[in-house]
Amino acid sequence: MSHRTLCKGAEAACPTTTGAATSFSSATVVRLVNTTANAHLVTVVETQSGDVVGSFTMPAATVEYLEKNPTQCVFAANAGVLGAKVGFTA
């Protein structure tokens, strides 16, 4: 699959606790990259310290595009997982 990514925000380390979870500036799509040699859990919560919406294990050295609601927040088990607000163009 080929697509173009529209950068809409600066890349930053994912917070590592639910209390610090971020919405990545109300993003609806977050590009995540695991820069480490280990798999890490990524968790989506309704709000900071809110109920868990879902989670997944992100394999080492991979990229994922996470779709979420603008108010939902993201945190990861390791700050080596980086995220950025993005969109897609045609």
Q: Is 24 left (phi over 0), alpha (psi -120 to 50) or beta?
A: left
CA distances to 1, 2, 60 from 81, in Å? 23, 23, 9
Q: What is the pLDDT of residue 16?
A: 98
Q: What is the pLDDT of residue 85?
A: 98
**pLDDT below 70 — which residues of the chain?**
1-2
Q: What are 56-71's pLDDT values in tens digits? A: 999 999 999 999 999 9
Rounded Cα gap, residues 42 and 57, in angstroms: 6
Q: What is the pLDDT of residue 2?
A: 59
Rounded Cα gap, residues 65 and 27, in angstroms: 11
Q: What is the pLDDT of residue 24?
A: 98
